[in-house]
Structure 1
Amino acid sequence: MGQDLRQLLVICIGMVLMLSSGSVLYAKAGLTKVDARILIDISGSMKKNDPQNLRRSALRLLVGLMPDGNRAGVWTFGQYINMQVPLGQIDGTWKKRARKQAGKIHSRGLFTDIEEALRRATKNWDKPGAGYRRDIVLLTDGMVDISKDKARNDASRKRILTKILPQLKNMAARVHTIALSERADHDLMRKLAAETNGWYEQVTDADRLQRVFLRMFEKVSRPDTVPLKDNRFEIDSSIKEVTLLVFRSPGKSKPTMIITPSGKKYGVDDVPAWINWYQDQGYDLLTISKPEPGEWSIQADVDPDNRVMIVTDLKMHTLELPNRLAQGEQFLLIAQFSDKGKKITRRNFLQVVEVKGEYQIEDGLSETYQLRDDGQGADKTAWDGNFNTVLKGGLMPGNGTLVITAEGKTFKRERRQDFVVRTPVAVAITEQSQDGVNGAAITLIPDEKVIRSDSLSPIAWLQAADGSRAGVILVPDGMGGWQAWMDTSAMTGTHKLWVSLSATSQTGNTVQLEIDSGTVQGSAPETVVKPVEKQQEEEPEIAKDEEKIAPSEGGWMPTVMYFAAINLVVIGTGVAGYIFYRRRKNDGLVQLVDAEDDGKEE
């Protein structure tokens, strides 16, 4: 299948999924509100892993960010399970109570009963969610620990995986897990998150808890935001409310200040009635009602985790990405706009909106994509309100962020999504002899968290130091993977193994990737050509003037014939050796074939 056809297939699948879900992206699931259950570990080990009780300020940040009209509750767990903040509708009263109760979080629990905490917090989720998305945020620093008896602990952990986890999946609940120590049960935390399309974070320093809870909030609530650059942001007339999150540097003496478009400056000690300013350890959280349109600025340190969240009728909607993507995955990016819940399709609006997607990775590199609604590129229908592009090829393993920004004549919007990119196939090369013949075994194991193993189609080849290639025949192993064995006894030197694969991701997207997978070492001794020592020639006698040097009897022909005979012997030996080499390799379980013929993908 050609590259253009593959890209067209990705676009068509994405468009079908979008159109089948309704006219606007946010209507896809029909779930516009959140029901969040927050579980906080208070076991005794937290005295070491969170000595300053930063769980308190992090929880206050989370509940302060949660939009009104949603639903949430907080449970703490150790030996016993306590409903720290009763489940209820989020409003000013609920937030005030939650902040007060956060101050009671401690580290005196005797055990770590994760199983019972999950069971209690989801007790009323046995019925449909009635328009609510279901999310759990689970923070712990330890293992499943309900007893001094290891067998009881193991049994509890098993019940979490075999009983509670399937129930959570049936409830359509996402579990976002935070492991606050090296000794936490990371395998369990990863599995709970991965199996429910949740988010997993390992935190070794409690000082980062507030920023981790910010990411959990963004996963749970998917807030509307506007871009913040150099501590400046634009507010338009459609925005009814603004929430500013400003992180403060440790030990910073200067207080945070905000400056309105009309030039007025406010601080925590000089707040008008239309600003609600909450200050906590390490951050300021401001809610501004009916903000003045224009450019605002913040006087504080520039921080990549500062945010400007808004309440508005003019919204940008984007297709939500899964939390785990495959390296090489190609997927369709879509953005739409709505006003008071109705999708905008007016051409005079769409023509003046510029939408861009920026893929950012941890080392600071980024790649920008243009989303179009003019019938060009990935966009097949002009001015239908769907801005599209295909993201392909550039995803690198590790954590990444996709930031989609839109700018019109009178407004700006931003949506960001964090995700993890995983290599879709693990390749292992091991030395392995068969019947006394030296060889190498190659194993390809698909990562079923990101690709469907039955869709994997790999091609492999070896590349020698001189650039020549030889194909490797891979066969299915019957368990979703692929394997090969090759005879290396006639190979010399180091050969690089390359694997080119195509597959389908767990979300139905095309995955195309070429991987440098390691090296295979030949076991045949390399031929060492010793340089011929140059013998010192005796200086010939100088001929007398009247003498001439004449050719030997018979002329140059005997010398020519002599070297021709030697070359014939060398060539004959090489041909015979090559035939023997080919037969020997063909007898092996895996053949090396010319990549230009059988091994190269058309």
Structure 2
Amino acid sequence: MKMRGGWIFPVLILVVLGLGAPPTQAKPATGEKADVRILIDISGSMKKNDPENLRRPALRLLVGLLPTETRAGVWTFGQYVNMQIPLGQVDAAWKRKARNESKKIGSPGQRTNIEMALKRASEDWEGSPTLYRRSLILLTDGMVDVSRNKAKNKASRKQILNKILPRLKKMGVAVNTIALSENADHELMRKLAEATGGWYEQVNDANQLQRVFLRIFEKVGKPDAVPLKDNQFTIDDSITEATVLVFHKPGAKPTQLIPPGGKPIDAESAPDSISWHRDEGYDMLTISDPKSGEWRIRAEVDPDNRVMVVTDLKMNTTDLPSRLIHGQSLPFLTSFTDHGKRIRKKSFLNVVEATAQQRDGNGESEPRPLLDDGKGPDPKAGDGFFSMRFGGESLSSGNGELIISAKGRTFVREKRMSYEVVPPVMLEVKPGEIPNQLLLTLMPAADLVDPASVKSQVWLETAEGEQTPLDLIQDAGGVSQGNLDITTFSGARKIVVSVDAKTVAGESVEYFDAPVEVEGIMPPPAAVEPKPEPVTEPTPTPAAESPAEAVEEKRAEKPEPAVEEEEESLLMTAVWLGGGNLLLLLALGGGFWWMRRRNQQGLVSLLDEELPENLPAAEVKEAA
């Protein structure tokens, strides 16, 4: 056995955030050890949702990960509740028994008596937790089903919510629930988890159970671990045991382990110091007194592969709540202990590099430092607490994982924590009582937000950004309701929610999102038919013709002036005028001639009277 060196310092004062406690306040940990009760549904419906009994290897994975300081027990339930694996201290013998008993898990039950399972598994708990952290893990695929009588089922469900849940909450029990079906009572499962600070997850495929059990174990067991990158990990002198979890796909080559400076080892050639358990979908290797140095794994790289260790040199972190409010920012602290005492020595702290990284639906963030410099979120420089603030707008809604890594001169450590980011309010949209109207309900997360502090604005918004306010009436409990008439608009619209609120701890939270899209059905305005335009017949194109024909045609085509009648009228007038004038001239001429003639006759008479009687005849003629 290697001798383990260590630091000797004053007693550790570990600061953590309790579930449901104000994030700005710290409280001592209630226990460094875990008390875990596992409840597994064996009702007949599991034949459909878990036909290959993958609950068995998933349970064996969880059993194998439990550290020796843990108390644990397994109950199965259908119509009745059975203690499948007795409650006891986890050790090698308990693990062997648990693995053997897991083979008996099937689906023979006729009912789903969740109420009785919760009662039986927690009946020995009393008062607040002291040495052990209390956790329940509930796996089911159905609804509360204790009888053919629906009233009895309803009464049993009510008993869980009104009697059992308040008791579990009062005793500090974190209830972690897994719904292995879309038909499970998700509302009940979520309420059990949210009210107690536990973890809720829906699984539609039993093949995911092993990884879900891993995430829940990391929450309830809070194991120490070392980073695993590209299937390589480093063991230091302070580590007395290492558990290596390697996932593999069907048909994959056997996993191999290569110790520092050694040859590859597999399940068949493993020495006595390595306990090698190969199961459906994974290998689990427990290495006693591992050699210091770099180890390698020959297997497919998987993000859920882990190396968990037993060590006296521990990294302690803030207890991150399972649920965070979107926009909320929490102080997060990390410290180190050796044999239970917080390390304060400058020569150790000055070479430690601590970083935080988050993984969620947006991918993997860049590592950010945790500092012990007395600035920003760090309360005091050089006190051994490395600090940062976690959350805010950088977190996206949904599930995520926070990874804390630390590297010193002689060691590396890692811790992983799963979390869910939820909005401070939930918008529910469903058909209203009046046709073509939707009922909008905005409900605050009462366990996270002070309902009286909620101030909300809701509006419709087009893709172009045009906004139409919606009138929702808020009651004393912070719940707002209103109707939306979908015949008043057409096309797609987003319902946008803007909220200012305070958490139950008094922190301000701002939230802005467009969680729902609705479709309007306003009919388009009636189309006005345009008046038909007069049809103009096209002028035919004339055929080619000779110049003479063209000239003749032009003459022929010369339009008869519309003044022909006018000219004819003028001609007739001219004729009449000319005729009149002619007659007048003739009359005047005739008159003149008659007058002259008469004058001449008068003259002749006078001459006749005056001429002498002896004038010769010739002279008389000449005078006439």
Q: Does 1:338 align with 2:346?
A: no
Q: Describe the shift of the 1:324–1:130 C-alpha distance in structure 2 as closer, same or farther (beyond 3 A).
A: closer
**2:25 counterpart residue number:** 17
The two structures have a TM-score, normalised by structure 2, of: 0.73
Give the SS at the match of 1:393: helix
Q: Does 1:447 align with 2:445?
A: yes
Give the SS at the match of 2:182: coil
Amino acid at match of 1:279: R
Could you tell me which runs of 5 or more consecutive residues in structure 1 were left unpaired when the two chains were aligned: 1-12, 22-27, 433-438, 529-602
Q: Describe the shift of the 1:314–1:446 C-alpha distance in structure 2 as closer, same or farther (beyond 3 A).
A: same
Shift of 1:83: 1.1
Amino acid at match of 1:370: P
**2:222 counterpart residue number:** 222
Q: Does 1:388 align with 2:387?
A: yes
Report Cα offsets for 1:319-367 as digits up to 9, x if no partner. 1111111111111121111111111222222221111111211353435
Amino acid at match of 1:381: K
Amino acid at match of 1:17: Q
**1:598 counterpart residue number:** none
Q: Describe the shift of the 1:137–1:380 C-alpha distance in structure 2 as closer, same or farther (beyond 3 A).
A: closer
Matched residues in 1 for 2:489 and 2:94: separation?
Answer: 72
Give the SS at the match of 1:331: strand
Matched residues in 2 for 1:344 and 1:318: separation?
Answer: 14
Shift of 1:237: 1.3
**2:455 counterpart residue number:** 457
Equivalent residues of 1:331, 1:509 under 8 A apart: no
Give the SS at the match of 2:110: coil
Q: Describe the shift of the 1:472–1:180 C-alpha distance in structure 2 as closer, same or farther (beyond 3 A).
A: closer
Q: Describe the shift of the 1:524–1:220 C-alpha distance in structure 2 as closer, same or farther (beyond 3 A).
A: same
Amino acid at match of 2:175: V
**1:163 counterpart residue number:** 163
After TM superposition, the structure 1 = structure 2 runs for residues 145-224 of structure 1, keeping only pairs within 5 Å, are 145-224=145-224
Equivalent residues of 1:430, 1:442 under 8 A apart: yes
Amino acid at match of 1:281: E
**1:294 counterpart residue number:** 293
Matched residues in 1 for 2:517 and 2:47: separation?
Answer: 48
Identity over aligned pairs, percent = 51
Q: Describe the shift of the 1:193–1:347 C-alpha distance in structure 2 as closer, same or farther (beyond 3 A).
A: same
Shift of 1:298: 0.5
**1:532 counterpart residue number:** none
Shift of 1:189: 1.3
Matched residues in 2 for 1:112 and 1:468: separation?
Answer: 51
**1:535 counterpart residue number:** none
Which moved further from structure 2: 53-62 or 423-432?
Answer: 423-432
Shift of 1:132: 1.0
Amino acid at match of 2:501: A
Considering only CA atoms, is the larger Rg found in Structure 1 or Structure 2?
2
After TM superposition, the structure 1 = structure 2 runs for residues 467-546 of structure 1, keeping only pairs within 5 Å, are 476-482=474-480, 499-506=497-504, 509-516=507-514
Q: Describe the shift of the 1:262–1:506 C-alpha distance in structure 2 as closer, same or farther (beyond 3 A).
A: farther
Shift of 1:316: 0.9
Matched residues in 2 for 1:262 and 1:494: separation?
Answer: 64
Amino acid at match of 1:372: L
Give the SS at the match of 1:17: coil
Equivalent residues of 1:232, 1:295 under 8 A apart: yes
Shift of 1:72: 0.8
Give the SS at the match of 1:266: coil
**1:320 counterpart residue number:** 319
Equivalent residues of 1:223, 1:309 under 8 A apart: yes
Matched residues in 2 for 1:233 and 1:465: separation?
Answer: 50
Matched residues in 2 for 1:484 and 1:318: separation?
Answer: 44
Shift of 1:193: 1.2
Amino acid at match of 2:39: L
**1:99 counterpart residue number:** 99
Matched residues in 2 for 1:30 and 1:100: separation?
Answer: 33
After TM superposition, the structure 1 = structure 2 runs for residues 308-457 of structure 1, keeping only pairs within 5 Å, are 308-391=307-390, 392-427=392-427, 444-457=442-455
Equivalent residues of 2:226, 2:413 under 8 A apart: yes
**1:540 counterpart residue number:** none
Matched residues in 2 for 1:495 and 1:143: separation?
Answer: 36
Equivalent residues of 1:424, 1:451 under 8 A apart: yes
Q: Describe the shift of the 1:343–1:515 C-alpha distance in structure 2 as closer, same or farther (beyond 3 A).
A: same
**2:58 counterpart residue number:** 58
Equivalent residues of 2:23, 2:505 under 8 A apart: no
Matched residues in 1 for 2:438 and 2:52: separation?
Answer: 54
Amino acid at match of 1:268: A
Give the SS at the match of 1:309: strand
Q: Does 1:251 align with 2:251?
A: yes
Amino acid at match of 1:327: H
After TM superposition, the structure 1 = structure 2 runs for residues 234-245 of structure 1, keeping only pairs within 5 Å, are 234-245=234-245
Provide the aligned C-alpha RMSD in A.
3.5
Equivalent residues of 1:330, 1:510 under 8 A apart: no
Report Cα offsets for 1:361-417 as digits up to 9, x if no partner. 135343543211123332242111111111221111111111111112221111111
Q: Describe the shift of the 1:106–1:497 C-alpha distance in structure 2 as closer, same or farther (beyond 3 A).
A: closer
Give the SS at the match of 1:135: strand
Report Cα offsets for 1:480-533 as digits up to 9, x if no partner. 13468999999999997754433233455442223346789999999x9xxxxx
Amino acid at match of 1:452: D
